[in-house]
Amino acid sequence: MKVLVTVKRVPDPETTIRVKSDGSGIETDNIKYVINPFDEIALEEALRLKEKLGSGEVVLVSIGDRVVTEQLRTGLAMGADRAILVGCDQDLDSLAVARILAKIVEDESPQLVLMGKQAIDDDANQAGQMLAALLGWPQATFASEVVLSDDQQAVKVTREVDGGLETIGFALPGIITSDLRLNEPRYASLPGIMKARKKEIREIVATDLGVDIAPRLTIKSLEPPTQKEAGKKVETVEELIGLLHDEAKVI
Amino acid sequence: MGNILVFAETQKGRVPKSSLIAIQAGKDAARKLGGDVLVAVLGADTADAANEAAGYGAAKVLAVNDAALENYLADAYAATLEQLARANDVTLLAATATAVGKDLLPRVAARLGVGMASDVVSFHEDGTLQRPMYAGNTTATVTLADTIKVVSVRSTAFDAAQPGDQSAVEQVSVSLDADATKMQFVEFNETKSDRPNLTEASIVVSGGRGLKSGENFTTYLEPLVNELNAAMGASRAAVDAGFVPNDLQVGQTGKVVAPELYIAVGISGAIQHLAGMKDSKVIVAVNKDPDAPIFNVADYGLVADLFKAVPELTEAVKKAKE
Ligand SMILES: Cc1cc2nc3c(=O)[nH]c(=O)nc-3n(C[C@H](O)[C@H](O)[C@H](O)COP(=O)(O)OP(=O)(O)OC[C@H]3O[C@@H](n4cnc5c(N)ncnc54)[C@H](O)[C@@H]3O)c2cc1C
Ligand SMILES: Cc1cc2nc3c(=O)[nH]c(=O)nc-3n(C[C@H](O)[C@H](O)[C@H](O)COP(=O)(O)OP(=O)(O)OC[C@H]3O[C@@H](n4cnc5c(N)ncnc54)[C@H](O)[C@@H]3O)c2cc1C
């Protein structure tokens, strides 16, 4: 089975993001970049599927400028077989990302595309659903469990939804986006890192794909959120209850 | 400006509060941008829900009854909404960013060939929208270029619609082809709870890794939650450790809440957690570490061992109620 896994380069969730004083973007100095954590989970799931079946191929794809090679190498070191880098130096919105990915899917014909439920930089939570729509494929977002049928032709996916867990099923091909509790991603091993150096990263250029990637969503400006005044420290539970009752009037 | 189409969810034949919020957001957009508010209700038998949705002063309720719409499934619902949007001169399509809204709207947007803005917190007369990014570290002002604009709205940013003039209910039928009915519903395992809904409660009490076990959630946190008639929430660390069910996670990648009172117990206050609760009206933190970042957003901070402070707090609340 061939599985395509999408990988986005995002700022490390541990870094503090600051808006530039003119609101044109964020301060990018001293930011460390990583694979979007949800994409790591998606990749882990693909690797486990391949290991379970004892055969198959895991192909990574990332869209961005040359620096995303770094994240693709990390993914290859975790165990993916090869990678595709779609070169693009303009900002893309989710629809453009989905249109580019749809082209790659047509070309590669995977049975399954595994993605993250959201990119933790812009939190759009759109690309997977949009790709599914463009391809006319079924989708299972927010996956916490994926079960492949014995004949490998269908999946049952448990999804984290409001108020509980929902299970849906469909025949492949399809799109699955990962939630946090799908699995715990492995670290790249030293031999993995050595092997990754020799794995293929095929480079193509977004503008050669003949898809419309003009942004529909434009970010006009960024503002820091309004800061809250510092609160009060209290010593005792009595004091706390007193303030909640008399000052805040919430109890 | 054309019409504003609001997608209303149904739960057991009723319209949930989260969808009344979408209706209110639609009215707010209509006031600023013009246009009529239409509400779409989908299902196998929508009679009750459509009637209920008609009580909030929208121009019209569009009710679609089809066996393929019995359970929410992204493919059939997206195909239906696309057809409604195209047939009703719609220029803004909105729903609340619930699990369903987040799953559905991008699929509709791509079917329509248009872009989408997620988690919108405000509409402006000049057509711009605002939405948070980077775990709430920034608020972005954005525009959508297409004639049909698709947005999900953040439930904490709008009130629920108040009952208003009765709207007419129009029955609409759609055609769903094979591409729109590939997904099958298997089952829904509801987390059983008598407590208020996490995203709707006026008081939320959340526990973190500091509680150390699921049993401690039951022995220490639950009595306080019950005494306050609150909803229970949790940090990711507490959910990952299996102390509580997944859908209690508050934060950037969980639920966003903004109750009147949020009490964080044994939670350090990582940026990803703050993204989901910092708009709460009053925030209380109980943590034994005086330097925990949660105290930076707390209105009232109690530096104490939770295993001692929480039972005291529960007793004090009980007394205050008497
Ligand atoms: C500061 C800043 C300013 C920006 N300004 C603009 C602007 O003015 N105009 C504009 O159009 N865009 C702009 N962008 C980009 C835009 O906000 C997002 O990149 C866009 O919304 C795409 O969302 P998403 O698809 O990454 O998100 P999601 O839908 O949350 O991503 C879901 C999944 O899609 C996959 N995916 C997403 N992107 C890629 C990728 N590049 N390669 C491989 N897989 C991917 C991943 O698996 C990811 O987990 C800006 C971004 C930033 C950070
Ligand atoms: C991609 C990504 C997404 C994430 N999304 C979310 C999200 O949506 N929501 C979320 O919450 N997190 C999220 N996180 C995780 C987040 O970064 C933190 O790791 C998490 O919030 C920490 O949970 P915690 O505060 O319970 O645990 P800790 O950080 O371990 O804090 C425990 C606290 O309990 C206190 N404590 C311990 N014992 C006691 C005691 N006896 N009495 C009083 N206090 C005590 C300690 O002083 C400490 O401050 C995400 C992380 C990533 C990478």
Report the CATH number that the domain containing residue A94 is assigned in CATH: 3.40.50.620
pLDDT (tens digit per residue) in B84-127: 999 999 999 999 999 999 999 999 999 999 999 999 999 999 99
Is the pLDDT assigned to residue A171 strictly greater than 80? Answer: yes
Query: How far, in Å, from the CA of B210 to the mean position of ligand 2?
Result: 8
Instruction: Give the model's confidence band at A230: pLDDT under 50 very low, under 70 low, under 90 confident, else very high.
Output: confident
Chain A residue with CA closest to B177: the answer is A136
Mean pLDDT, rounded, of chain A:
95
At residue A190, the pLDDT reads: 96
| pLDDT > 90: percent of chain A | 88
Residue A184 in tokens = 């715990």
- Burial letters A59-96, b for 16+ CB under 10 A, else e: bbbbbbeeebbebbbbbbbbbbbebbbbbbeeebbbbb
SS3 B242: coil
Using CB distances shorter than 6 Å, the residues near ligand 2 are A 13, 37, 120; B 208-210, 235-238, 249-254, 266-268, 270, 272-273, 276, 287-289, 292, 305-307
Number of folded domains that form chain A: 1
pLDDT (tens digit per residue) in A184-209: 999 999 999 999 999 999 999 999 99
Instruction: Please give the residue range of the domain that contains residue A66.
Output: 2-246
Does some domain include residue A251? Answer: no
Q: Which residues pair with B233 in a beta bridge?
A: B206
Does some domain include residue A53? Answer: yes
Query: How far, in Å, from the CA of B310 to the mean position of ligand 1?
Result: 42
Instruction: State the Cα angle at A237 between A231 and A241, rounded to 5°.
Output: 70
pLDDT (tens digit per residue) in A64-97: 999 999 999 999 999 999 999 999 999 999 999 9
Is the pLDDT assigned to residue B262 strictly greater than 90? Answer: yes
Q: How far is A204 from chain B (nearest CA, A)?
A: 24
Residue B35 in tokens = 């246009």
Chain A residue with CA closest to B78: the answer is A133
Q: Which residues pair with B261 in a beta bridge?
A: B203, B282
Mean pLDDT, rounded, of chain B:
96
Nearest-CA residue for atom 29 of ligand 2: B268
Domains within chain B, CATH numbers bracketed: 3-181 (3.40.50.620), 203-321 (3.40.50.1220)
Complex ipTM value: 0.96
Chain B residue with CA closest to A181: the answer is B240
Q: Are B105 and B162 in contact (CB under 8 A)?
A: no
Q: Ligand 1: which of B128, B131, B133, B152 to mutate, judged by most atoms within 8 Å of the beta carbon?
A: B133
Residue B217 DSSP code: I
Tell me the average pLDDT across B296-312: 97
Is the pLDDT assigned to residue A28 strictly greater than 90? Answer: no
B-interface mutation test, from A162, A219, A222, most B Cβ less than 10 A away: A162
The pTM for the full model equals: 0.95
Instruction: Give the model's confidence band at A113: pLDDT under 50 very low, under 70 low, under 90 confident, else very high.
Output: very high
Give the helix/strand (H/E) hosting B321. helix B306-321
